[in-house]
Chain A
Amino acid sequence: MVASTGPTEPLSIRIASTSGAVRVIAEDRADVSVQGRAEQRHDDRHVTVEGGSSRLTVRVPLGSDVVVGAESGGVGVVGPLGHVSAVSRSGRVIVSDVTSADIRAESGRVEVDGCRGECVVRGDSGKVEITECGTADIVTRSGRITVSGVRGDVRAHCVSGRVEVDLDEAADVDAETVSGRIVVRYPRGVTPRRTDEDDAVGGDCVLHARAVSGRVTVGNR
């Protein structure tokens, strides 16, 4: 099924699928193309696609903002796109080449590769892996958090999983876990000011690392 939306500018697109996996692909095109069984609605520059159990592949104009969710299927998004919000209850969520992202996955794994601005992830038991982003704001329950290639501030909180942050430059880090382990690595020559040390002064950036019963390890590469 193909729907032409006319204009060549980025669109605002909402996609929902009950159990089928969803794949969103940005292309140099003016319309929205949907492969798979789904209903479409158009309202000015907004397009809504709602599917059932069918696997959906949705091709959208470059730079569009996309809000997508699948109850049990996985979600894959390939940019370049604007803001992307993605939700999956049990499937994996993989997002690449977006301006900013808000991703919620309950048991599935989350992978983000290339988020130019703010990257928000809320997970539960699945692993979260971020490579290349502006800022990172990640919270999981037991899923391990791995962040690398981040250019701005990082907030990484989990309850029982491990938190591992690998910074390319000096940036503030707020890492918390109740019973997991926290590992923060800075580039050579960067020294953070640790808020858990009574005599903390100076520093190139601020590190707030708190583990109720776990270990905190801070070092340089």
Chain B
Amino acid sequence: MIATDTQAACLGAILFTDLVGFTEFNDAVGDARAFEVLDLQAALAGQAIASVPGARVVKELGDGLMIWIDTADAGLSCALELMRSVERARATGDLPLGVRMGMHHGEALPRGDDLVGQTINIGARVADLAGPGELLVSEALVANCGDVHAATTLRPVGPVFVKGVQDPIWLHRVVDPA
């Protein structure tokens, strides 16, 4: 049984990534090439979070990743860096699939090495609406970012709803200032 310590709830940013069209790609090219693509996504994510204190890949989710970062600012920086490295890999042809990303900010409960809670559920829901090459963020994530990202342009996306959360979650698309 995995111990759960409700006293150790942590506050931070959750980032979900997903390789768009991975299942169909796997069918088309076979397992070996598909695994290479998974490895490349993991490597790019590892590079993006390597120098960021409090950032870690919580787990792999099929063809996606769940990443926790201790602050909203650092989280957004990580996500932007990952978005850029993915685009570079797409441009060179190394990465044949787009990656979509979604972020939210809030409290999560550790469960072993995993994290659980509505913050996690909302983060996953945010990523659902992103297209390849896109990063969507919740208003809570934006509200917890400081001046570091003042130059970042946000485009409105709309509201989404998550079971158990009464209010709509308003989303924005991040336009990379770089």
Contacts and interface: CB of A to CB of B under 8 A. Distances in A.
A14 B24 contact: no
Given A67-B156, A69-B168, A106 B132 contact: no
A104 B96 CA distance: 23
A20 to B, nearest CB: 12
Interface in B117-165: 128-132, 134, 155-161
B29 interface: yes
A69 B160 contact: yes
Interface residues of B, number: 27
A50 B130 contact: no
B133 to A, nearest CB: 9
Contact of B29 (A65, A71, A212): A212
A89 B24 CA distance: 22
B54 interface: no
10 contacts: A67-B158, A87-B129, A102-B158, A104-B157, A122-B129, A122-B131, A139-B132, A141-B20, A141-B21, A212-B24
A85 interface: yes
A213 B25 CA distance: 9
A69 B158 contact: yes
Main secondary structure of the interface of B (DSSP, over half): mixed
Contact of B24 (A16, A157, A160): A160
A68 B25 contact: no
Contact of B161 (A18, A85, A122, A212): A18
A45 B55 CA distance: 39
Contacts of B159: 14, 16, 67, 69, 87
B173 interface: yes
Interface of B: 20-21, 24-25, 27-29, 96, 98, 128-132, 134, 155-161, 167-168, 170-171, 173
Interface string A57-94: 00000000101110100000000000101110100000
B24 A104 contact: no
A178 interface: yes
Nearest to A122: B131
Interface residues of A, number: 28
Contacts of B155: 85, 102
Contacts of A213: 28
Interface string A117-158: 000101000000000000000010100000000000000010
A16 B168 CA distance: 7
Contacts of B167: 50
A106 B21 CA distance: 15
Given A14-B170, A106-B128, A178 B160 contact: no
Contact of B157 (A16, A50, A85): A85
Given A87-B129, A122-B130, A122-B131, A102 B157 contact: yes
B160 A87 contact: yes
Contacts of A18: 161, 168
Contacts of B98: 139, 157
